């Protein structure tokens, strides 16, 4: 069977833009809605208050009826028309680039089996899942990412799928985690996956797709850089320091937090796994390199030092 490779693009673009001068934000009051809804939204704040970041205090209606909070759940967002137009435009760019690269669009259920994601990343991922037991006693989850669903469909299709396979999707995902700047509990993911093509070639196609997208958006190398990671490089570093194989997955999970945690926090977590300070510094140094020649030089130097004891 042909070698297969699967990779995905998880790039969340934060585009700085001025507000479009469409019209002032209207203020909606309960009297603007049909009478049967007026009691529910009796304390609804004006849209201008929400846009300014104010947190209005609920006011109980005089008749004692309960009030519905008109703000979306924490970590999620609404898309009014002006934002929806921009989102649609951006997603259209994703689709056009995918089709130029000969990818076909697919989609999957938002609700998936919990076991699909626990098997993929281990039990610890349950802390970040929006998961629950449905009325039939089945453990289900709002998908936190796309690739496991794609793998499930490929297995389900079996021999009816001809290789090479190039699929893409733009899907909504959820993760129950601490929110930071630009990172919500709800997000959209542009996913591109390749099966049946040698790994290096497949990864180069995905990198080409990113570059084409940036060029279409007017983003240049002075605005953004592309970081390429390799499990083989990390494995080579671990082998240099005689780190046990069973720690590899745990170390990968920790280094994946770079950008979310400080360097000191990453070092502390790595040391907590039992790694030596020397090994931790080696891993951090490799991850901070920004060019292939520097990476090659580091690996060759490290091997020479380990072999000759210098």
pLDDT at residue 140, rounded to an integer: 93
Question: Looking at the structure, do residues 185 and 238 belong to the same domain, yes or no?
Answer: no
Dihedral sign of CA atoms 234, 236, 242, 248 in order: positive
Is the full-model pTM beyond 0.85? no
Q: Which of 2-11, 152-161, 180-189, 207-216 has the lowest mean pLDDT?
A: 2-11
Question: Looking at the structure, do residues 204 and 235 belong to the same domain, yes or no?
Answer: no
pLDDT at residue 255, rounded to an integer: 83
Number of domains in the chain: 2
Backbone angles phi, psi at 233, to 5 degrees: -65, -45
Query: For all residues of the chain together, what is the average pLDDT?
Result: 77
In a domain, residue 167? The reply is: yes
- The mean pLDDT value for 81-85 works out to 95
Query: What one-character-per-residue DSSP string does 193-213 give?
Result: EEESS-HHHHHHHHHHHHHHH
Question: Looking at the structure, do residues 110 and 199 belong to the same domain, yes or no?
Answer: yes
Distances (CA, A) of 143 to 109, 191, 198: 8, 13, 28
Task: Tell me the pLDDT tens digit for each residue of 250-288.
Answer: 888 888 887 788 888 999 999 999 888 888 888 888 877
In a domain, residue 176? The reply is: yes
Measured between alpha carbons, how far is 293 from 44 in angstroms, rounded to an integer? Answer: 59
Question: Looking at the structure, do residues 145 and 254 belong to the same domain, yes or no?
Answer: no
Residue 188 lies in domain: 81-217
Choice between 142 and 66, residue whose per-residue pLDDT is larger: 142
Question: Looking at the structure, do residues 249 and 193 belong to the same domain, yes or no?
Answer: no
Task: Tell me the pLDDT tens digit for each residue of 100-123.
Answer: 999 999 999 999 999 888 875 556
In a domain, residue 160? The reply is: yes
Measured between alpha carbons, how far is 33 from 21 in angstroms, rounded to an integer? Answer: 26
pLDDT at residue 3, rounded to an integer: 42
């Amino acid at each position: 069977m042909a070698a297969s490779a699967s990779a995905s693009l998880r790039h969340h673009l934060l585009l700085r833009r001025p507000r479009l001068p469409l019209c002032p934000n209207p203020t909606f009051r309960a009297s603007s809605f049909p009478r049967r809804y007026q009691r529910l939204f009796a304390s609804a704040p004006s849209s201008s208050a929400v846009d300014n970041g104010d947190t209005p205090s609920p006011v109980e209606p005089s008749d004692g009826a309960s009030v519905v909070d008109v703000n979306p759940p924490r970590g999620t967002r609404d898309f009014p028309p002006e934002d929806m137009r921009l989102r649609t435009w951006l997603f259209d760019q994703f689709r056009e680039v995918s089709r130029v690269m000969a990818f076909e669009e697919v989609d999957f259920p938002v609700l998936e089996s919990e076991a699909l994601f626990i098997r993929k990343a281990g039990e610890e991922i349950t802390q970040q899942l929006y998961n629950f037991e449905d009325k039939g006693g089945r453990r289900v989850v709002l998908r936190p990412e796309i690739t496991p669903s794609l793998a499930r469909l490929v297995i389900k299709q079996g021999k009816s799928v001809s290789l090479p396979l190039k699929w893409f999707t733009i899907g909504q995902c959820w993760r129950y985690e601490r929110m930071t700047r630009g990172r919500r509990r709800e997000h959209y993911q542009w996913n591109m996956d390749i099966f049946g093509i040698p790994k290096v070639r497949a990864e180069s196609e995905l990198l080409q797709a990113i570059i084409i997208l940036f060029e279409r958006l007017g983003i240049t190398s002075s605005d953004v850089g592309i970081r390429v990671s390799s499990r083989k490089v990390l494995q080579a570093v671990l082998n240099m320091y005689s780190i046990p194989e069973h720690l590899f997955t745990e170390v990968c999970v920790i280094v994946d937090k770079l950008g979310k945690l400080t360097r000191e926090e990453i070092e502390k977590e790595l040391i907590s796994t039992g790694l030596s300070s020397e090994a931790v510094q080696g891993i951090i140094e490799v991850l901070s390199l920004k060019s292939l020649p520097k990476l090659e030089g580091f690996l060759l130097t490290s091997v020479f030092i380990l072999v000759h004891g210098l």
